[in-house]
Amino acid sequence: MNLLILDYGSGNIKSVYNSLKFVLDKIDKRYEINVSNSANDISKSDFIILPGVGSFQHCKESIFKYVGLVDALYETVLIKSKPFLGICVGMQLLADFGMENGKHEGFGWIKGKVKPLEKQINLNHYNLKIPHMGWNNIEIISQDNILKDISKHDHFYFVHSYYFDAVNSENVLTLTKYGKNIPSIIKRENIYGLQFHPEKSGYSGQKILKNWIKNC
């Protein structure tokens, strides 16, 4: 089985790789992790992870620089239905649009917009800061295989200033409270998105990655 981490120059690749390797060594050493931006490698992969650090626009433009990469993603994820996981900005890119420094088109795989947190919550009233940075728990709205053995006692590491405002509530698996309830895990069929960083979330993050690989 081949698990591909998409390397487009804008993701926390090393941490994601190390966390996945730790999890896979416990599940099945026959899994192979491939870090690549090759359309051919994407087409041959069994699982795809899209990490993301930085702005919505920059990450999207970086992905589109690679010839054939987007077409390969669409074919592998939408037509072949291979499991896909977007992390942080990688999750936000699943939206129709991102509203960071203007309006920018996303993949449109899960209906919604990416909006600034600071315009949605009263920072002074809640004594909060932007970015939302640090540990927080999640509230399970809809049970799913990715949430096996996950509870309110599990905490995850967040770093973000924008959030995914989903159109359809059925796409939202969990919410996280930060002045308001924001989606922290979203899903549509074989496509998952995590607003938090599982690779920085210790044992709880490892459980999420394990569940995604084994059960989703």
Active-site residue numbers?
A: 88, 197, 199
Q: Enumerate residue ranges in the chain where pLDDT < 70.
A: 11, 29, 122-125
Paired tokens of 158:
């967040």
Specify the 3-state DSSP secondary structure of 120.
Answer: coil
pLDDT score for 118: 81
Q: Is the Cα dihedral 83, 156, 111, 40 positive or negative?
A: negative
Kindly list the structural domains of the chain, giving each domain's residue range(s) and its CATH number in brackets, ordered by start: 2-215 (3.40.50.880)
Specify the 3-state DSSP secondary structure of 16.
Answer: helix
Give residues with Cβ within 8 angstroms of 151, minimum separation 6: none
pLDDT score for 26: 86
Vertex 136 angle, CA 175 and 138, to 5°: 30
